[in-house]
């Protein structure tokens, strides 16, 4: 009778569940498993750090709707993954993590990299388990993938001791059960009618679109709703592109006013967490009525009491809502006072940003860099962005016209995600939409977390354009004279400011490690020339290192970007 080992069962199980990509770093006891995965037809991408592998796997899950897999070794390998696992769980992105483990008979006596991995993983997962025999592997893989994708997406962890992976069982005894597609949750039509009635009566309505709507592939219905009702909308950072940023209904430039003055808010796949200031005063009106549409019932009334809370998938809800609104022949005209106020604030903000964007004196500022970058990158590019001011200002200046085309630090505010996200985006483009470009815009501090993944990009011939916006610090840096003066006397660990990095680090020289070209940029013509040349590359990444003023800041805001605690 033919036998099959645990490595082969695991690899074949993942393939049958629709998994395509595995990211990881191999070692004992998962070396043979990585080879079995490739033999089964899975695409294995070897990374340089487990966190970056985890970031890449979750991003491919968000982009494709099918969970990516992370393969890591026992102990430290898995521990390095937890930052990525927490990020995926809080972002609600599908991810399956597979960790090798010390053999069962070595547990409790100091086995190699022995670690209570299932227990440690549970806070960052929807499901964490260890199959107790090779015959149970297929069952656990099916459940792990199903739980990662059904309902609110999230993380599954499976733990595999070396002796389970090496064990052999009869091939005919393995049951590769494949679960059906996730079921759609349809809305209560009574609540849909109430939502339509409330929007029709609103004097200052606002739609907020979150990345949950992007993940749900709800862009067609939401665009139809916005365009036909003329409702103003805002997008959360990764909700950008569900409706184009350039749409006349987009009021991102009047965000503070829109949130503060709206009397009815339709919340589509977004949470009232810190990104939206919890839905509370003073950032929102005390008497605002919120219509909350979310797949997860536990999210209802989480920070404020919603006026109408609908548990639903976004697609059927938006379709039903549009039908009810169409029956009312409702259109929110631009002549109303609300639209007039929003237009005036948008124009005022754009004038402020344009003034800074057209100031191309050196050292450059953020707005000038992003404005002139926006002019020449493809309108359908996937934009990856991370860093404090780099990400926040870039969000307002770099536009998205398509859903799932912006990847950033997300709900968990995680730094170091950029290169991993960019690798996933480039693989997605190569396999699904050939010719589409990936632009990875990094603050110099953020780039330092995962910068060695540039070697991964070179190895897999991924044409990623990395733009490092370099101010020599975290939030802000110092010019060379000030930096030298500060550090001229005393213990460097006591006198070097905590936010300071080395002045004008030549990150572009990293490309020299691969006998390739990077770009050092001080002026806008140099930037645009470098970007144009980089966009012609079809099988290699590049780094464009843009020096900006160490004291460059964002425009003055009515409120701080983060709502402060009142305790």
472 by DSSP, 3-state: which?
coil
pLDDT score recorded for residue 283: 95
Q: Which of 278, 290, 287, 286 is nearest to 206 (CA)?
A: 290
Task: Beginning with the edge strand found earlier in the chain, give each strand of the sheet holding 233-235 in spatial order.
Answer: 233-235, 205-209, 264-268, 289-294, 308-311
334 falls in which pLDDT band (50, 70, 90)? Answer: low
CATH number of 359-547: 3.40.50.970
pLDDT, tens digit (0-9, with 9 covering 90-100), for 430-444: 999 999 999 999 999
Residue spans of alpha helices (H) in 150-188: 162-166
Mean pLDDT of the chain: 95
* For residue 309, pLDDT beyond 80: yes
Spell out where 212-344 has E strands.
Answer: 233-235, 264-268, 289-294, 308-311
CATH number of 3-173: 3.40.50.970
* For residue 361, pLDDT beyond 80: yes
Report the DSSP pairing between strands 406-407 and 155-161: unpaired
| Assigned token pair, 103 | 């053999």
Report the DSSP pairing between strands 382-386 and 542-547: unpaired
CATH number 3.30.70.980 is the correct assignment for the domain at 189-344: no
Mean pLDDT check: name the lowest of 111-115, 393-397, 423-427: 111-115
333 falls in which pLDDT band (50, 70, 90)? Answer: confident
pLDDT, tens digit (0-9, with 9 covering 90-100), for 65-109: 999 999 999 999 999 999 999 999 999 999 999 999 998 888 888
Helix 189-201, helix 314-327: angle, nearest 10 = 60
What is the percentage of the chain residues whose pLDDT exceeds 70?
Answer: 98
In angstroms, the CA 471 to CA 241 distance is 28
* For residue 379, pLDDT beyond 80: yes
Mean pLDDT check: name the lowest of 142-151, 206-215, 313-322, 556-565: 556-565
Per-domain residue ranges for the chain?
A: 3-173, 189-344, 359-547
In angstroms, the CA 314 to CA 260 distance is 25
pLDDT score recorded for residue 332: 79
* For residue 51, pLDDT beyond 70: yes
- CA distances for 395 relative to 71, 90, 390, 421, angstroms: 32, 20, 8, 16
* For residue 451, pLDDT beyond 70: yes
Phi-psi region of 334 (alpha: psi -120 to 50; beta: other; left: phi over 0): alpha
In angstroms, the CA 191 to CA 310 distance is 7
Place of tokens 């498993």: 33
pLDDT score recorded for residue 310: 97
In angstroms, the CA 452 to CA 407 distance is 19
Report the DSSP pairing between strands 233-235 and 205-209: parallel
Spell out where 236-390 has E strands.
Answer: 264-268, 289-294, 308-311, 382-386
Whether the CB-CB separation of 552 and 366 falls below 8 Å is answered with yes
pLDDT, tens digit (0-9, with 9 covering 90-100), for 240-264: 999 999 999 999 999 999 999 999 9
Domain 3-173 and domain 189-344, same fold? Reply is yes
Mean pLDDT check: name the lowest of 46-55, 74-83, 441-450, 486-495: 486-495
Interval 121-137 mean pLDDT: 96
pLDDT score recorded for residue 556: 66
133 by DSSP, 3-state: which?
coil
């Amino acid at each position: 009778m033919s036998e099959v080992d645990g490595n082969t069962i695991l690899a074949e199980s993942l393939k049958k569940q629709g998994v395509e990509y595995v990211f990881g770093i191999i070692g004992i006891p998962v070396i043979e498993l990585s080879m079995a995965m490739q033999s089964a037809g899975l695409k294995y991408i070897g990374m340089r750090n487990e966190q970056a592998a985890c970031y890449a796997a979750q991003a491919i899950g968000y982009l494709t709707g099918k969970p990516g897999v992370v393969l890591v070794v026992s102990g430290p390998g898995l521990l390095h993954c937890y930052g990525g696992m927490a990020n995926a769980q809080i972002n609600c992105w599908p991810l399956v993590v597979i960790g090798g483990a010390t053999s069962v008979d070595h547990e409790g006596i100091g086995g190699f990299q022995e670690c209570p991995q299932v227990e440690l993983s549970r806070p960052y997962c929807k499901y964490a388990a260890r199959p107790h025999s090779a015959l149970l592997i297929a069952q656990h893989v099916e459940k792990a993938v199903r739980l990662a994708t059904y309902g609110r997406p999230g993380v599954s962890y499976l733990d595999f001791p070396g002796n389970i992976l090496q064990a052999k069982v009869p091939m005919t005894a393995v049951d590769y059960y494949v679960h059906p597609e996730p079921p759609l949750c349809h809305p209560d039509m009574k609540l849909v009618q109430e939502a339509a009635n409330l929007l029709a009566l609103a004097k200052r309505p606002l739609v907020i679109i979150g990345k949950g709507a992007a993940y749900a592939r709800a862009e067609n219905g939401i665009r139809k709703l916005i365009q036909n009702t003329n409702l103003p909308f805002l997008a959360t950072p990764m909700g950008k592109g569900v409706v184009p940023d350039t749409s006349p209904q987009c009021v991102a430039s009047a965000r503070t006013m829109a949130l503060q003055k709206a009397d009815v808010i339709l919340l589509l796949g977004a949470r009232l967490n810190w990104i939206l200031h919890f839905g509370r005063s003073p950032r929102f009106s005390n008497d605002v009525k919120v219509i909350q549409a979310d797949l997860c019932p536990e999210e209802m009334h989480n920070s404020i009491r919603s006026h109408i809370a609908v548990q639903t998938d976004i697609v059927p809800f938006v379709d039903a809502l549009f039908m009810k609104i169409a029956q009312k022949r409702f259109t929110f005209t631009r002549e109303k006072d609300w639209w007039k106020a929003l237009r005036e604030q948008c124009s005022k903000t754009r004038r402020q940003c344009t003034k800074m964007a057209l100031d191309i004196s050196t050292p450059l500022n953020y707005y000038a860099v992003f404005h002139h970058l926006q002019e020449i990158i493809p309108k359908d590019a996937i934009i990856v962005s991370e860093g404090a001011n780099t990400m926040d200002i870039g969000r307002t200046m770099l536009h998205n016209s398509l859903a799932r085309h912006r990847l950033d630090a997300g709900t968990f505010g995680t730094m170091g995600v950029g290169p991993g996200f960019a690798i996933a985006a480039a693989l997605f483009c190569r396999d699904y939409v050939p010719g589409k470009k990936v632009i990875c815009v990094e603050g110099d501090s953020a780039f330092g977390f995962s910068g060695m993944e540039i070697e991964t990009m070179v190895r897999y011939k991924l044409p990623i354009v990395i733009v490092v916006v370099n101010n020599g610090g975290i939030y802000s840096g110092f010019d060379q004279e000030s930096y030298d003066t500060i550090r001229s006397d005393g213990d460097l660990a006591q006198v070097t400011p905590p936010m300071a990095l080395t002045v004008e680090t030549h990150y572009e020289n990293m490309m020299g490690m691969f006998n390739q070209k990077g770009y050092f940029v001080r002026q806008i013509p140099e930037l645009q020339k470098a970007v144009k040349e980089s966009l012609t590359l079809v099988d290699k990444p590049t780094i464009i290192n843009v020096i900006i003023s160490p004291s460059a800041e964002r425009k003055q805001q009515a409120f701080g970007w983060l709502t402060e605690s009142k305790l």
